[in-house]
Amino acid sequence: MDKLLIEGGARLHGEVAISGAKNAALPILCAALLSAEPVTFTNVPRLNDIDTLLALLGQMGVKVAREGHTVTLDAGGLDNPVAPYEMVKTMRASILVLGPLVARCGEARVSLPGGCAIGARPVDQHIKGLQAMGAEVRVEHGYVHATVPRLKGARLFTDMVTVTGTENLMMAATLAAGETVIENAAREPEVVDLANCLVAMGAQISGAGSDVIRIRGVDRLHGATHRIMPDRIETGTYLCAAAVTGGEVRLTGTSSCYLDAVVDKLMDAGCEIVSERDAIRLKAPARLGAVSLRTAPYPAFPTDMQAQFMAINCVASGVAMIRETIFENRFMHAVELQRLGADIRIDGNTAVVQGVAKLEGATVMATDLRASASLVVAGLIAEGETTIERIYHLDRGYERLEAKLAALGAKVRRLT
Ligand SMILES: CC(=O)N[C@H]1[C@@H](OP(=O)(O)OP(=O)(O)OC[C@H]2O[C@@H](n3ccc(=O)[nH]c3=O)[C@H](O)[C@@H]2O)O[C@H](CO)[C@@H](O)[C@@H]1O
Ligand SMILES: C=C(OP(=O)(O)O)C(=O)O
């Protein structure tokens, strides 16, 4: 199993290009299921999660053509609306095929994604929404079976803000009869990117980016071309990596407009940040100041950046309080950071991080995607060598991680 070896202490400097967003690309590729015409996507990141989704779509009868960062999907021959457990178990986002399949085929059989490291993550809101739109939905033998002659527009209200739930229901509603209103909708930029793609395909959607989205169903969607937005979490991770080393970097192909809460906290920690049209520059002080935070749905501080900020707080001056309000088990990186010498106390959903003068390299284990990213951030500043095991988690969400870090001057290599 691959490992990552980092020799800490190098100050990151220089320029690196940010990839397309995993969490935008996954729902947007699923949107191709809604049309019988080919849809072309550019800026698609080269990631294991994308490979998994393309394989899943392929076995449903979708023709997949991929060259570099461009993917064309032709769902004209879609004939198998099934997502089997073997393919879904490695990637929770596979549930995003459910809405499009029911809308286009009138039936779907999709394995439950199951629990995962960061929390139970049920999909009851996705199911409740489809039922409200007239689908008959049964959960049997670990599969969601949904059937309906044609979905009907409805007023939908989710019990909590759910990103993939909003995306699934928005996609389903594009082909429903009549108008659907999603209240308490997620406002994440990835929801807006998906809506933009659907509109380019002929969907009638308004309000994406607010908490009320209106969708007027149409009879069919057509082909289109869509460019995937930049990955705001990859951007934030490189900002943290540079910040913790006292570095100075310019990240291109991205924008601070998706990252207000993160940029704000980095400035509170003492970084200078300059926003350009399609780039961000960061200059960090020799030592960061501690920053407290609380995760919450967009536009508040993203849960997907919580672990990386815990890492920078480990060596900052002062004490930080970190509250995780989205996932019930998203502090698994804390014990691994402690192995590097961090001073962290967990009390329920709150972590209290007392900054220490230095971390020391050790062998640590990646437990999930962003936990792994926090270990990389910490490894960059730890004295000596840090070995990160189970980095297949990182390959789910960071394109060419070690090459990009090395381009910024980090001493990092993959052991295969
Ligand atoms: C592929 C993708 O885009 N993943 C992102 C998405 O995950 P994902 O869309 O799975 O996360 P949700 O926004 O749905 O989850 C928010 C909370 O709602 C709960 N919930 C959700 C749906 C449901 O039917 N029932 C229920 O109880 C979840 O367990 C969680 O506690 O948003 C998360 C929150 O920003 C991010 O961390 C993930 O990176
Ligand atoms: C939790 C994440 O992804 P997923 O929802 O695909 O597990 C993530 O991107 O941090």
pLDDT digits (tens, 9 = 90+) for 200-233: 999 999 999 999 999 999 999 999 999 999 999 9
Q: Are 178 and 114 in contact (CB under 8 A)?
A: no
Q: Distance between CA atoms of 211 and 296, rounded to whole angstroms?
A: 14
Alpha carbon nearest to ligand 1 atom 23, residue: 123
Residue 92 is labelled as binding a ligand: yes
Ligand nearest to the CA of 125: 1
Phi/psi of residue 62, nearest 5 degrees: -85, 135
Q: Please give the pLDDT value at position 262.
A: 98
Q: Please give the pLDDT value at position 24.
A: 98
Pairing of strands 248-252, 279-283: antiparallel
Phi/psi of residue 89, nearest 5 degrees: -65, -25
Question: Which pLDDT band holds residue 197 (cuts at 50, 70, 90)?
Answer: very high
Residues 66 and 15 in one domain: no
Q: What is the CA(123)–ligand 2 centre distance, in A?
A: 14
Residue 131 is labelled as binding a ligand: no
In this prediction, residues 301-329 reach a mean pLDDT of: 98
Q: Distance between CA atoms of 25 and 193, rounded to whole angstroms?
A: 9
Residue 326 is labelled as binding a ligand: yes
Q: Is the CB of 45 under 6 A from ligand 1?
A: no
What is the total count of domains within the chain?
2
Q: Is the CB of 122 under 6 A from ligand 1?
A: yes
**CA-based nearest residue to 21, from 212, 302, 272:** 302
Q: Is the CB of 35 under 6 A from ligand 1?
A: no
Q: Which of 196, 227, 258 is the last residue of a domain?
A: 227
194: domain CATH number is 3.65.10.10
Ligand nearest to the CA of 48: 2
Contacts of residue 403, defined as CB under 8 A and 6 or more positions apart, other chains included, come to: none
Residues with CB under 6 A from ligand 2: 23, 92-93, 304, 369-370, 397
Q: Which of 175, 206, 227 is the last residue of a domain?
A: 227
Q: Is the CB of 158 under 6 A from ligand 1?
A: no
What is the domain extent for residue 237?
A: 3-19+230-415
Residues 220 and 236 in one domain: no
Residues 131 and 264 in one domain: no
| pLDDT greater than 80 at residue 114 | no
Instruction: Assess whether 116 carries a catalytic annotation.
Output: yes
Q: What is the pLDDT of residues 10-48, one digit of tens each?
A: 999 999 999 999 999 999 999 999 999 999 999 999 999
- Tokens at residue 245, please? 């080393």
Q: What is the CA(262)–ligand 1 centre distance, in A?
A: 19
| pLDDT greater than 80 at residue 370 | yes
Q: What is the pLDDT of residues 47-89, one digit of tens each?
A: 999 999 999 999 999 999 999 999 999 999 999 999 999 988 8
- Percent residues over pLDDT 70 in the chain: 99
Residues 246 and 322 in one domain: yes
Q: Distance between CA atoms of 312 and 380, rounded to whole angstroms?
A: 10
Amino acid identity, position 143: Y
Residues 259 and 164 in one domain: no
Residues 249 and 132 in one domain: no
- Tokens at residue 385, please? 């060598």
Q: Which of 209, 227, 245 is the last residue of a domain?
A: 227
Residues 103 and 215 in one domain: yes
pTM confidence score = 0.98
Residues 37 and 15 in one domain: no
User: ipTM exceeding 0.90?
Assistant: yes
Residues 235 and 376 in one domain: yes
Residues 198 and 121 in one domain: yes
For 305, half-sphere exposure in the C-beta direction (CA atoms, 13 angstrom radius) is 34
Residues 185 and 286 in one domain: no
Residues 101 and 116 in one domain: yes
Q: Are 125 and 131 in contact (CB under 8 A)?
A: no
Decide: helix, strand or coil at residue 396.
helix
Q: Are 371 and 333 in contact (CB under 8 A)?
A: yes
- Tokens at residue 59, please? 């076995």
